[in-house]
Homo-oligomer: A and B are copies of this chain.
Amino acid sequence: MIKACVVSIGNELLNGHTTDTNCSYICGRLLSTGIPVVSAYTVGDDIKQIVRSLKRAAEDADIVIVTGGLGPTDDDITRQAFAELLGVRLQVKSALLKDIRKFFSDRGLPMPEKNIIQACVPKGASVLENPFGTAPGIFAKMKRKLFFAMPGVPVEMKEMLEKAVLPRLAKKGAGSFTIVKKVRCFGMGESVLAEKLGNLMDRGRNPLINSTVGSGIITLHVVASAGTKKQAEQMAKKDVNRLRSLLGNLIFGVDDQTLPEVVGHWLLQNRKTITVAESCTGGLLTKLITDIPGASEYFTHGWITYSNRAKTELLGVPKQLIEKYGAVSEQVASAMAIAARHKAKSDFAIAITGIAGPAGGSKQKPVGLVYISVCDGADCQTKKCLFSYTRELIRTRAALTALNMLRLWSSRAKRLKP
Binding site for B on A (CB under 8 A): 10-21, 23-29, 31-32, 36-46, 49, 53, 56, 60, 71-75, 107, 109, 112-115, 132, 153, 155, 180, 182, 189-192, 194-195, 201-203, 208, 210-214, 219, 221, 223, 276, 278, 281-287, 289-291, 293-296, 299-307, 309-310, 313-314, 343-344, 357-359, 386, 388-393, 395
Top 9 nearest A-B pairs (CB, nearest first) are A16-B28, A282-B290, A302-B304, A283-B286, A283-B283, A300-B307, A283-B287, A40-B42, A72-B191
26 A-B contacts, Cβ less than 8 Å apart?
A: A11-B210, A11-B221, A12-B212, A14-B38, A17-B210, A17-B219, A19-B19, A19-B23, A23-B42, A39-B53, A40-B42, A41-B41, A72-B190, A73-B190, A74-B194, A75-B210, A107-B386, A109-B192, A282-B287, A282-B289, A282-B295, A291-B395, A293-B358, A301-B310, A302-B304, A302-B306
Check A302 against B283 for contact (C-beta < 8 Å): yes
Q: Is the interface of A mostly helix, strand, loop or mixed?
A: mixed
Q: A16-B180, A17-B210 are in contact. Are A306 and B310 (CB under 8 A)?
A: no
Q: Report the separation of the CA atoms of residues A286 and B286 in the bound assembly, to the nearest whole angstrom.
A: 10
Which of chain B's residues have a CB closer than 8 A to the CB of A212?
10, 12, 17-18
Nearest neighbor of A113 in chain B, beta-carbon distance: B195
The answer to whether A24 and B19 have CB atoms under 8 Å apart is yes
Q: What residues of chain B lie closer than 8 Å to A203, measured between beta carbons?
A: 45, 73-75
A14-B36, A17-B24 known; 11 other A-B pairs, CB under 8 Å? A10-B212, A13-B23, A39-B42, A71-B191, A71-B213, A74-B201, A112-B192, A114-B195, A115-B191, A282-B302, A291-B392
Q: How far is the CB of A20 from chain B (nearest CB, A)?
A: 7
Whether B306 contacts A304 by the Cβ 8 Å rule is: no
Interfacial chain B residues near A38, Cβ < 8 Å? 14, 43-44, 46, 49
Taken together as a complex, chains A and B put the C-alpha atoms of A189 and B135 apart, in Å, by 13
When distances are taken between beta carbons in the complex, the residues of chain B under 8 Å from A23 are 13, 19-20, 42
List the B side residues contacting A14 at CB < 8 Å. Answer: 27, 36-40
Q: Which residues of B contact A42 (CB under 8 A)?
A: 23, 39-42
Instruction: Using CB atoms, name the residue of chain B closest to A388.
Output: B132
CA distance A326 to B252 in the complex (A): 38
Contacts A20-B23, A73-B194; is A296 near B306 (CB within 8 Å)? yes
Q: Is the CB of A306 within 8 A of B314?
A: no
Given A300-B309, A302-B303, answer yes or no on A11-B115 (Cβ-Cβ < 8 Å): no
Minimum Cβ distance to chain B for residue A213 (Å): 7
- Determine the distance from Cα of A284 to Cα of B284 in the docked complex, in whole angstroms: 7
Residues of B within 8 A of A16 (CB): 24-29, 31-32, 180
Q: Pick the contact of A294 from B17, B221, B287, B359 — CB < 8 Å?
A: B359
- Give complex CA distance A73, B221 in Å: 14
Instruction: Choose among B31, B112, B195 the residue that contacts A112 (Cβ–Cβ < 8 A).
Output: B195
A415 to chain B, nearest CB (A): 27
Q: Is the CB of A73 within 8 A of B282?
A: no
A132 and chain B: residue at smallest CB distance:
B389
Q: Chain B residues near A13 (CB, 8 Å)?
A: 23-24, 27, 40
